[in-house]
Amino acid sequence: MSGSPDPTEAADPIEAIVDSPVPDPAAVLGRVPTGTTLRSELAAAARSLGRSSSISGELFELHERVASIEAEPVDLVSPRRRVAEAGGEESRLKERVAALRGDVRARREMEADADGALADLESAAAALSSAQTERIAAEQALERARERAASARDERERRLALRDRLRNRRRDARRELAIGVYPEFREALSGVPGGDPADAGAAPSEYDGPRIAASLAAVRLADLDGSVTLGEAASSWLTARDGSIAPASVIDGEPASPDGLGQR
């Protein structure tokens, strides 16, 4: 059964786990099936052979710029709550001051003792002044938090723009590296059961053969330090086509079973 062509602009799952400018070849080719695209497999194989793209310097620079941007989330809930509470307390005290003033006025009109009411009024007025100061401070704190939030939002947008550019340039680098090793990949297909150089076409996007065969050929082409884990699909593929062929001879390296035990 033939696999579908490698999508030129397909989203690469490897992107989600990369914390360096380019993924380590073993992270891409250390397990078959790889779960990524043929272009990514070939680019990883090329890097394992010591090759780099013409934009490798730009990738490192973009990665450093992305990593240097920190935009911590800013809490606006607490400052808003503080403003609301301060405003509510101020309104309550304004009503109390107004009521006490009315009480003092009424007592004076009746020539009654107003000393107690005056003391209450002075106390309420002082509390109101304090509440107004707190409300102003809360509003200023909220404004500062909003400014920090806006700045953080700008930084996040700048980081997202840089990440998009880094992702696009990584794609360009993969394309360049994959094309560079494609003749060698075509040759490696001849050493893989079910692989056929005629399926390769002229570029990764033209490959029209089985994906497992392509992945195995990419591993065969690569120079990896560690062993390669052959998943069930890869093991079944090899067994179904020629059980007498040792996996090590296919991938030109030492395979490992999914549980970490070497295969024989």
Position 8, amino acid: T
Tokens representing 92? 């309550």
H-helix or E-strand containing 98? helix 77-109
Would 46 be classed as within a structural domain? Answer: yes
Angle 251-256-262 from CA coordinates, rounded to 5°: 115
Q: Within a domain: residue 66? A: no
Q: Are 10 and 150 in contact (CB under 8 A)?
A: no
In a domain, 58, yes or no: no
Q: Tokens 């935009």 correspond to what residue?
A: 71
Cβ(222)–Cβ(228) under 8 Å? no
Considering the domain architecture, whether residues 152 and 186 belong to the same structural domain is answered as no
| Residues 89 and 149 placed together within one structural domain of the fold | yes
Provide the residue range defining the domain that includes 37.
13-51+181-256
Domain membership flag for residue 210: yes
Q: Which two tokens stand for residue 124?
A: 């309420």
**Position 72 in a domain:** no
Cα separation, 159 vs 78, in Å, equals 26
Q: Give me the number of domains the chain comprises.
A: 2
The pLDDT of residue 16 is 42
Find how far residue 110's CA is from the centre of its chain.
75
| Residue at which a domain ends, from 113, 139, 166 | 166
Task: List C-alpha distances in Å: 162 to 120, 167, 232.
Answer: 62, 8, 38
| Cβ neighbourhood burial of 251 (10 Å; 0-12, 13-18, 19+) | buried
Task: For residues 81 and 161, state if they share a domain.
Answer: yes
Mean pLDDT per 10-residue interval, the chain, length 264 residues: 41 49 85 92 94 92 92 94 97 95 88 87 95 97 97 95 93 94 95 92 93 94 88 85 62 55 36
CA distances from 44 to 77, 174, 186, 254 (A): 46, 8, 16, 18
Contact by Cβ (8 Å): 233, 212: yes
The residue out of 138, 166, 194 marking a domain boundary is 166
Task: Say yes or no: 210 and 235 in one domain.
Answer: yes
Contact 152, 70 (CB under 8 A): no
CB-CB neighbours of 120 under 10 Å: 16
State the pLDDT at residue 5. Answer: 42
Determine the Cα–Cα distance for residues 206 and 48; give it in Å rounded to an integer. Answer: 23
Residue 134 lies in a domain: yes
Q: How far is CA 27 from the centre of its chain?
A: 17
Residues 122 and 194 occupy one common structural domain: no
pLDDT attached to residue 7: 42
Contact 216, 251 (CB under 8 A): yes
pTM for this prediction: 0.70
Residue 160 shares a structural domain with residue 104 = yes
Residue 221 within a domain: yes
**Among residues 142, 166, 190, which one ends one of the domains?**
166
Domain membership flag for residue 137: yes
